[in-house]
């Protein structure tokens, strides 16, 4: 069983930032502002290709996600135009989710109003922390006041119950009191976020953080902070549904659920990934060139911006399905879980999954198991 009904998602990568965060390994640049209009024109051109070819016969769009980078850095009309082009070439399902990632300091009433008019239904704010010293340690540019202002504008412009806050724990110098303060301040936003993502800071090769061992996070500290997040968010009515994600009832992120259920998705823009199923149990995953200039040039010249890809055989897809589903509230079939994982308290039978034959029993990670999810996944029976 998958975590969500199959759908078709579109991811649009916006690789521009004012400043690259110390921990970021994504394909983003802080010195390419002159490419904004050229790059979006290329994205709109690529969006037009979704009406046929590789995507012939795919279902209607169930979710669109503008990520980056900092999509909200661009003039709102550029994102609105891209969404308009998608609508011209691809059918949208009723109630399709459309998300724009925003850095708090870039949010304005004008931008949010334009997003709303264009059909954006959801916002995701890169908050990371509500403590100034921690924000500085992460290399962020905003302050807590800009987060509060962004949430107020979200409420005023029609996103009162449709915005997420991204948080990061484990930065150098962050105490448990700091993390508690961040969680409390996030939950106290007016209006309150309908969705909270809380990620453990990770060290990625090639980043300034990787070159500063004294700033690397401590595993035990991060485990304790994860447990604090789980306790506080659950107490405030947020339901855990994936390792790092909690949502109020009915407010889970459809686009993320699409990824975790191996749905089909088209990636638009530099470094964007795509996934398409094929008959016979084989699927194809591919990705675009990384540099925005190369992406623009390829599209302008009428050549493919694809940099590489791989075929996914049935056995690989089966294992990936288990590993992805394990991370979610859906869990995995109980029969693929070795008994010792139950005995060690890493997994448990999901409520409502009856072992008496009335329904297929499912095993879901316990809170303890979430801290060791990769280890648990490696021990599943395939």
* Phi, psi (deg, nearest 5) at residue 219: -60, -45
Q: Rounded to an integer, what is the distance from CA 254 to the centroid of its chain?
A: 10
Residues 6+ away with beta carbon under 8 Å from 87: 119
Q: Which of 173, 165, 171 is nearest to 222 (CA)?
A: 171
Tokens of 205: 């090769």
User: What are 75-120's pLDDT values in tens digits?
Assistant: 999 999 999 999 999 999 999 999 999 999 999 999 999 999 999 9
Hey, what domains does the chain have and what are their CATH numbers?
8-259 (3.20.20.70), 331-378 (no CATH)
332-333 sheet: strands from edge to edge: 332-333, 362-365, 347-349
CA distances from 179 to 134, 212, 219 (A): 9, 22, 15
Given this model, what pLDDT does residue 280 score? 63
The Cα 55–Cα 45 span in angstroms is 15
Closest CA to 293 of 10, 39, 6, 31: 39
**Cα(235)–Cα(242) distance, integer angstroms:** 17
Q: The dihedral of CA 167, 168, 173, 176: what is its sign? A: positive
Q: What is the largest CA-CA distance in the chain?
A: 63
pLDDT at 51: 86
Give the pLDDT of residue 1. 33
Q: What token pair was written down for 58? A: 């795919």
pLDDT tens, position by position, 137-182: 999 989 999 999 999 999 999 999 999 999 999 999 999 999 999 9
How far apart, in Å, do the first and last CA atoms of the chain sit?
A: 15
Please list, in sequence order, all residues whose beta carbon lies within 8 angstroms of the beta carbon of residue 108, skipping any fewer than 6 positions away: 153
Note the pLDDT tens digit of each residue in 39-69.
Answer: 999 999 999 999 888 888 888 999 999 999 9
Q: Strand pairing partners for 169? A: 200
Look at residues 262, 264, 242 and name the one whose alpha carbon lies nearest to residue 253.
242
Please tell me the pTM assigned to this model: 0.94
Res 285 pLDDT > 50: yes
* Selection from 219, 210, 167, 158 nearest residue 22 by Cα: 210
SS3 84: helix
pLDDT at 300 over 60: yes
Average pLDDT, the chain: 93
- Neighbouring CB atoms inside 10 A of 266's CB total 25
């Amino acid at each position: 069983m998958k975590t969500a009904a199959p759908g078709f998602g579109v991811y649009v990568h916006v690789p521009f930032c004012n400043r690259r965060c110390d921990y970021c390994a994504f394909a983003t640049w802080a010195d390419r502002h002159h490419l904004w209009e050229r790059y979006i024109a290329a994205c709109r051109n690529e969006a037009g290709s979704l009406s046929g070819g590789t995507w012939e016969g795919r279902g209607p769009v169930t979710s669109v996600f503008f990520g980056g980078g900092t999509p909200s850095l661009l003039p709102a009309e550029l994102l609105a135009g891209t969404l308009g082009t998608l609508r011209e070439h691809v059918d949208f399902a009723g109630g399709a989710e459309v998300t724009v990632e925003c850095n708090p300091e870039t949010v304005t009433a004008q931008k949010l109003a334009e997003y709303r008019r264009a059909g954006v239904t959801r916002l995701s704010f890169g908050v990371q922390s509500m403590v100034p010293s921690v924000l500085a340690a992460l290399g962020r540019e905003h302050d807590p006041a800009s987060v509060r202002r962004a949430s107020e504008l979200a409420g005023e412009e029609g996103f009162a119950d449709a915005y997420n806050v991204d948080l990061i724990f484990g930065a150098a110098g962050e105490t448990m009191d700091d993390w508690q303060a961040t969680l409390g301040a996030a939950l106290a936003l007016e209006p309150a976020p309908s969705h909270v993502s809380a990620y453990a800071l990770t060290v990625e090769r090639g980043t300034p953080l990787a070159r500063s061992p004294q700033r690397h996070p401590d595993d035990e500290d991060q485990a304790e902070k994860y447990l604090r997040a789980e306790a506080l968010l659950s107490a405030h009515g947020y339901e855990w549904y994936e390792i790092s994600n909690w949502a109020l009832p009915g407010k889970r992120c459809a686009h993320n659920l699409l990824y975790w259920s191996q749905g089909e998705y088209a990636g638009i823009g530099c470094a964007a990934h795509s996934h398409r199923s094929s008959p016979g149990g084989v699927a194809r995953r591919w990705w675009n060139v990384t540099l925005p200039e190369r992406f623009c040039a390829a599209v302008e010249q009428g050549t493919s911006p694809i940099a590489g890809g791989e075929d996914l055989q049935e056995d690989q897809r089966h294992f990936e399905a288990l590993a992805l589903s394990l991370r979610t509230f859906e869990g995995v079939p109980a029969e693929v879980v070795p008994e010792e994982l139950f005995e060690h308290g890493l997994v448990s039978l999901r409520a409502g999954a009856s072992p008496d034959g009335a329904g297929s029993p499912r095993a879901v990670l316990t809170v303890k198991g979430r801290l060791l999810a990769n280890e648990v996944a490696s021990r599943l029976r395939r």
